Structure 1
Amino acid sequence: MTQPHPPAPSSSSAALRVLVTGATGFVGRAVVAELLRRGYAVFAGSREGQGLPGAVGVKADVTSREGMQVAVDDVQPGAVVHLVGIIAEKGAQTFGKVHVEGTRNVLAALPAGARYLHMSALGADPSSKSGYSSTKGQAEQLVRASGVAYTIFEPSLIFGPGDDFFGRVLKNLVSQAPIVPQIGDGHFPFRPVSIQDVAAAFAGALERPETVGQTYELTGPAEYTFRELLQLELSALGKRKPIVPVPLPLMNLAVPLMNLLPSPPITKDQYAMLLEGSTGDPEPARRAFDLPMLNLEKELPQLLKK
């Protein structure tokens, strides 16, 4: 049953206090910068309470119900942007603990009438074989059932200065051997989105009451197969190497062995997500938030130089 959605709080950017969880991460820093550019009073939430230029640092550990409540009570935000997420599990930081329980704790601490923006992921589905995608789907269920004035965003692969996938995972994959291993036939599709588009969508949602209760896929203007992404990465790095398909049965054996390494080149969840692909229609979000729609092919050479 669909829950009723409260109206979005009426506010001007100059007056609205916004708490951003995960503010010191790759996406968090970009969202904080965009909110500040638009005149919001921004509080940068993280486990360490680290401040950012123009934003007040706040200790906000989403895995602690009590800690999250204290953070919200101290800030009294009119909006919360929840960005916390992990790509790989480490110790007590499991997908369930961070994505599901973390979201539950943030929702429980949310002040009455506050606006809520939620960072999910394209492919979020409780039934996914990927623990990452499965718990992202479970978190979405919590948000939709909460009755708060929410907007959910589901980005594809995000590219930008400091990103993990293009700046580390794919870069290592095409750089570390004389050949480039391609997973299977390499035909699974992706539509990468720029960090600028993601930040603009989050900030824009606070200014558009009609986005309450909506879920938006965040994808870029061009779709690529995995093989094409490998070719783009090679080209951007100025490398020429043969791309060699690795049969999926062999990859299915190799990936678990790789994960025995202290720092595996690809985790089991990243592998599962690659096989699922990550694409969607960019037009609803582009129209709703007037996004710049930056193109990966044009941006990648500069990004990899940094």
Structure 2
Amino acid sequence: MALSSPFNVFASYSYTPKPKTFLRDSKLLSRSQQLNSFPLASNSNLRLTRSRPEPVSSLGTSEIDTSSSSSSSSSTFRNKIPSEVNILVVGSTGYIGRFVVQELVKRGFNVIAVAREKSGVRGKNDKEATLKQLQGANVCFSDVTDLASLERSVETLGLGIDVVVSCLASRNGGIKDSWKIDYEATKNSLLAGKKFGAKHFVLLSAICVQKPLLEFQRAKLKFEAELMELQDSTFTYSIVRPTAFFKSLGGQVDIVKDGKPYVMFGDGKLCACKPISEEDLASFIADCVLEESKINKVLPIGGPGKALTPLEQGEILFRILGREPKFLKVPIEIMDFVIGVLDGVAKVFPSVAEAAEFGKIGRYYAAESMLILDPETGEYSEEKTPSYGKDTLEDFFEKVVREGMAGQELGEQFF
């Protein structure tokens, strides 16, 4: 199925940045103009506080180069020092987005983080909480689901945009939410960025789009295809497809601590992943801003070490707790039955379609590996899935056993 269609609307966009005479002031714009300002980085005073992880295995065997040559004229911003590069980050208060903002700030970029006035899970964070969470960035309160609103907010900044980094993701992967956020809102950020001069777009996607059986995967792929079509001598992109995140695997820690069994589907070997920490993923995404080796490529990425099945993840957790492993094996056919019933009901009551989709999401992650899907064999490949970073799942489990999962909620990723 063809997923691509060109953004012809770009042809009518042009923008001349306003003079940036205020860039060295400690305040960029007043809060009444929707932007909270922090002192912008000087040319040399801001240094990384976290060393950049080295790739564990070469990306050369697994990254997907979707162009025959890299763009040279589009790399003008790559010749600048970080403090002169303006990066617009959307999805900045989401699960991964806030770590990406922190990493870009550490590297000295001028970061403009787009956020809602009420952000976080169920909108629990007000403006002040958001400003504290994104400290070091310039926070622009706007609505990425409304293109006109987003463009007005960016125009208010009075400066050009060099790079857009999108960490947008739908709340729950539902049908309506997926197309509204994973496609439409992400497209809005691209349109707004290009209108105000962006020459590079970094997209946080997902490795599971290789086998698109779910609506959010189809929405992500449609945007990816349209983004690729824009590649030319003046515009580039990097599409990052990570494997599973640590926090998505930590939901059973407290249950097992309480003496209950570790729940898994089938024999616990139906799927595997090379989980990556949010800090390591944020570092990889930040690498994509300036590194020419990542231009116009689809970049699958996992964390360090071997791929882990749910069985092995459970064994790690029991070892940390010093207990004998105790597993509850649930037949995958139970999920198939429930999904079949919901699909049948949805034919009569369309409102049930969302519930059926949620069931399909659970079924997908219970049986499909978050690894490179080898097109030659049709099998998932641990060897072809690149590794990056230093943080391990065992380290994460040890931390959660000590400190719990408080403050590590998933959800509301798109703002």
TM-score, with length taken from structure 2: 0.62
The verdict on how the C-alpha distance between 1:227 and 1:173 changes in structure 2, with shifts beyond 3 A counting, is farther
CA distance in 2, matches of 1:293, 1:215: 22
Q: Is the 8 A contact 2:100 2:285 kept in 1?
A: yes
CA distance in 1, matches of 2:399, 2:291: 33
CA distance in 1, matches of 2:332, 2:96: 32
CA distance in 2, matches of 1:251, 1:304: 30
SS in 2 for 1:294: coil
Equivalent residue number for residue 399 of structure 2: 302
The verdict on how the C-alpha distance between 1:243 and 1:135 changes in structure 2, with shifts beyond 3 A counting, is same
The CA deviation string for residues 39-67 of structure 1, in whole angstroms up to 9 with x for no partner, is: 11111212226322111211242221212
Equivalent residue number for residue 59 of structure 1: 141
1:155 pairs with 2:242: yes
The verdict on how the C-alpha distance between 1:72 and 1:131 changes in structure 2, with shifts beyond 3 A counting, is same
The CA deviation string for residues 172-195 of structure 1, in whole angstroms up to 9 with x for no partner, is: 664688333311222111110122
Of residues 132, 137, 147, the one that matches 2:221 is 137
**Is the strand fraction higher in 1 or 2?**
1
Equivalent residue number for residue 17 of structure 1: 86
Equivalent residue number for residue 185 of structure 1: 267
Gaps of 5+ in 2: 5-65, 118-126, 343-351, 373-381, 404-415
Q: How large is the Cα RMSD of the aligned pairs?
A: 3.2
Q: What letter corresponds to residue 196 of structure 1 in structure 2?
A: E
CA distance in 2, matches of 1:224, 1:217: 17
Q: Percent identity?
A: 22
CA distance in 2, matches of 1:141, 1:26: 25
The verdict on how the C-alpha distance between 1:189 and 1:167 changes in structure 2, with shifts beyond 3 A counting, is closer
The verdict on how the C-alpha distance between 1:120 and 1:141 changes in structure 2, with shifts beyond 3 A counting, is same
Q: Is the 8 A contact 1:178 1:241 kept in 2?
A: no
Q: What letter corresponds to residue 315 of structure 2 in structure 1?
A: Q
Equivalent residue number for residue 79 of structure 1: 163
TM-score, with length taken from structure 1: 0.82
Equivalent residue number for residue 253 of structure 2: 171
Following superposition, the deviation at residue 136 of structure 1 comes to 2.1
CA distance in 1, matches of 2:180, 2:168: 11
CA distance in 2, matches of 1:297, 1:207: 32
Q: What letter corresponds to residue 81 of structure 2 in structure 1?
A: S
Gaps of 5+ in 1: none
Equivalent residue number for residue 151 of structure 2: 69
CA distance in 2, matches of 1:220, 1:137: 23
Equivalent residue number for residue 104 of structure 1: 187
Q: What letter corresponds to residue 56 of structure 1 in structure 2?
A: N
CA distance in 2, matches of 1:63, 1:107: 12
The verdict on how the C-alpha distance between 1:181 and 1:33 changes in structure 2, with shifts beyond 3 A counting, is same
Equivalent residue number for residue 243 of structure 1: 327
SS in 2 for 1:190: coil
Give 1 or 2 for the bigger CA radius of gyration: 2
Q: What letter corresponds to residue 144 of structure 1 in structure 2?
A: M
CA distance in 2, matches of 1:268, 1:238: 35
